[in-house]
Amino acid sequence: MDYVHLGRTGLRVSRLCLGTMNFGPVTTPEDSYAIMDRAHAEGINYFDSANVYGWGENRGWTERIVGEWFAQGGGRRERTVLATKLYGDMGDWPNEGKLSALNIRRACDASLSRLQTDYIDVYQMHHVDRATPWDEIWEAMEVLRQQGKILYVGSSNFAGWHIAQGQEAARRRGTPGLVSEQSIYNLVERTVELEVLPAAQAYGLGVIPWSPLHGGLLGGILRKIEDGATGRSTSGRSADALEKHRPAVEAWEAFCADRGENPGDVALAWLLHQPAVTAPIVGPRNIDQLEGGLRALGITLDEAALARIDEIFPGPGGTAPEAYAW
């Protein structure tokens, strides 16, 4: 396993990030423990969660599963760079969501309890809160850092100008600000190349792509449909997207077949070849899916291969403003 620094920090993380969103709603606690153990065995030290995972009445379930795994000991917590998120509503009363100082304090303490740990390595804002002043957000995060409850702060689903806004506010306060940004980024959804990735690179943020296979669309969906497979990757968002992108998906699967590679592995490998990317999030439902993500680490794409992929799934044309202006 290769390790890189998370943005401009001295923190070293694996080139793959283990996403835990399926733990609980899809994957049993026992299978979740096995996946996390296997991830450690393969050198993955970077785990991502969120307080809302488990969803609906089960919000917090996923963090509890991770906490139960930590409680098994054996250096599990010590060997994990733990990232989790806050923003989504955890109840029906006011102030049980978003990024007020009150919710930041309460949400952090609740996550620490569920995760059975006394600190979070990377505490991430799951979305931008336009109604809360940046000074309030940063003061609350500074208090958590002073208390030793969090080490770094990250963002997720921010626009490029939100990153700039947040970083400039942090700079005025003399604090580090953001160290990472989680964005949807894959061959189908490349909008972040316009402004989010340039902003992250300019401010020294690590980029953590989520949905690297676009809900399964890039993981060999046509072959799975042909084989009669059913499941998440052949329904929902991926099935809807297939109608829009079928010619590109057909070309994509043919390209991967010519290389003798699984489409999902190549899609992950493409992200790993992007200079702004620190570690894509893989969210396996089982051990086999985790092993598929690991195979991507061994795939090398030369300039010709990268050029062909750009032909199949053209991006926005580069960074802004050149992508849409002179």
33 labelled catalytic: no
Q: At what angle do helices 29-41 and 61-70 cross, to 10 degrees?
A: 60
Indicate which residue of 33, 46, 53, 203 is catalytic.
Answer: 53
C-alpha 22: how far from chain center: 13
Q: How far apart are CA 54 and CA 60, in angstroms?
A: 6
Sheet-wide strand order for 46-48: 206-210, 178-184, 150-156, 120-125, 81-86, 46-48, 17-19, 281-282
Backbone φ/ψ region at 157: left (φ over 0), alpha (ψ -120 to 50), beta: left
Tokens standing for 251? 């070309």
Q: Which amino acid is at 121?
A: D
Element spanning 282, H or E: strand 281-282
Q: How far apart are CA 238 and CA 252, in angstroms?
A: 15
Residues forming the active site: 53
